[in-house]
Amino acid sequence: MRPLRLHTRISLVLTGLAGSLCAVLVGLWLHGARQGIHEEIEAANRVSGQWLAALVEHLPANAVELQAALAPLGRIRANELQLLDAGGRLHYRSPPPTYKAGRQAPDWFAELLRPQIAPRVLAVGELRLVLVPDASRAVIDAWDELCAVAGWALGLLGLLFVVVRRALDRALQPLDEVMRALQRIGYGRFDLRLPVFPVPELASLSNAFNGMADRLRAAVDDNVRLETERELAQRLQARLEEERRQIARELHDEMAQGITAVRALAGAVVQRTAEQPALQAPAQHILAVTGELQDGVRRILHRLRPLPGGELAARLNDYCASWRRQHETVALQLRVALAGHEPDDALAAAALRIVQEGLTNVARHAAASEVELSVSGGDGVLRIALLDNGRGAGGRSAAAGCGLGLTGMGERVAGLGGSLHFFTPAGGGFGLVATLPLFSLEEA
């Protein structure tokens, strides 16, 4: 069965309360009617008994004659007159009432209202006159009155239900408009607004709905803006990676090969000028400088291209091992705890770039002797924490480019939908924590 509507439920509740009140009033009426019938029948029985007591002296003591004398009397008010002999045999009973003849109230109703009054017995010689109270006519009157009242009450209750139902339909009609507005909001119509209803409660509901719609519209606009910014950041990131690969190819194909050729020529000069110190010394210097250039180009290529290997832990270990060889005076501790939360290749490459920028910043500006690097995964995020015991944020080097690495790192993290925080440890130094969501860049 379909559940009843709110209007119908409220109407039924109000009608039920009115019906309960009517039931209480009927109960009070029945109590009063019972007392009234009792008093009426008792008074009639008393008066009739007194009248018969005065008449007994003039009545014959013979059963036949007494019966003939009683027959014209009929019923005495609300009492039945019976004539019994000494053995209790009935000789005469007054005729049934003519008022509402043949009708009787239901037994349960008669038992509820019938008064308990003892019959009066008068002796006429050896005969007995019995005056039996009869409340059946008063009870049938009460029953007819109750039926009439019940009919009116049911009619009024039905009318009350209809009137209340229509009044509620009209008063709560704005709720239908609210429901339609909610359905349209569910389909993305965030520009829909409700009018301010005249009823205070519905006006509060309208204001709350309009405020919710405003907040939803603002949230949708923010989401669209964020999605647009994220898509732009992804495209910029992809473009940067492509630029890095192109620069790496150019360095490897042009500059690295040129340095290798110069180094080879310098080596040949060194071998052939053993007896010419004036030529050999410059050639050896050229050989040393080109060696340093080759190492520098190799480091740049390592930064521009991701290191080989599929897992982030292996790639971090390889890069940190190379970083330790280049900065032997700095103790680098690496802790990797991915625990089954291995990022995809794109996110791993981004994480490696962040680590590279962070360690490069330490090497250039921190003047630190110890560095702690922690990379962990869990709860849907990849967390990168870097801590050094160097000069801290306020004591960074004033060299050109100082701070641009951290700025680029922040832009990279924001482009991935993550967050970047800097802090100063209690013992001094500088720390940063980058948190990245564990999803692929294609899903962002």
Residue 289, in any domain of the structure: no
Mean pLDDT over 318-323 rounds to 86
The domain of 99 spans 6-171
Query: In the listed set 171, 199, 224, which residue is the last one of a domain according to the structure?
Result: 171
Tokens for 421? 């925080």
Write the single-letter amino acid at 72: P
Order of all β-strands in the sheet with 127-133: 90-93, 79-84, 127-133, 120-124
Q: What is the pLDDT of residues 402-440, one digit of tens each?
A: 455 677 788 888 878 889 999 988 888 899 999 998 864
Whether residue 13 sits in one domain with residue 159: yes
Residue 86, in any domain of the structure: yes
Q: Tell me, rounded to whole angstroms, the distance of Cα 21 from its chain centroid.
A: 39
Q: What local confidence, expressed as pLDDT, does residue 21 receive?
A: 93
Mean pLDDT over each residue of the chain, to the nearest integer:
83
Mean pLDDT over 372-380 rounds to 89
Instruction: Kindly tell me the number of DSSP H helices and DSSP E strands found in the chain.
Output: 11, 9
Domain CATH code at residue 341? 3.30.565.10
Look at residue 72 and tell me whether its pLDDT is greater than 60: yes
Whether residue 313 sits in one domain with residue 166: no
Query: In the listed set 150, 171, 192, which residue is the last one of a domain according to the structure?
Result: 171
Q: What is the pTM of this model?
A: 0.45
Residue 187, in any domain of the structure: no
Look at residue 165 and tell me whether its pLDDT is greater than 50: yes
* Per-residue b or e along 136-170, where b marks 16 or more CB atoms closer than 10 Å to that residue's CB: bbbbbbbbeebeeeeeebeeebeebbeebbeebee
Residue 267, in any domain of the structure: no
Which backbone phi and psi does 336 adopt, to 5 degrees?
A: -120, 120
Query: In the listed set 171, 192, 216, which residue is the last one of a domain according to the structure?
Result: 171
Tokens for 140? 């049938």
CB pairs under 8 A, 24+ apart, for 404-408?
405/357, 405/358, 405/360, 405/361, 405/364, 406/357, 406/361, 406/432, 408/357
pLDDT grade, residue 401 (50/70/90)? very low
Residue 215, in any domain of the structure: no
> 330, exposed or middle or buried, with CB in 10 Å at 0-12, 13-18, 19+?
buried
CB atoms within 10 A of CB 327: 15
Look at residue 176 and tell me whether its pLDDT is greater than 70: yes
Residue 82, in any domain of the structure: yes
Tokens for 301? 């290529």
Residue 142, in any domain of the structure: yes
| Cβ within 8 Å of residue 186, ≥6 positions away | none
- The DSSP line for 85-123 is -TT--EEEEPPPP-TTTT----HHHHHHH----PPEEEE
| Cβ within 8 Å of residue 70, ≥6 positions away | 81, 83, 92, 94, 129
Residue 332, in any domain of the structure: yes
- How many structural domains are present in the chain? 2
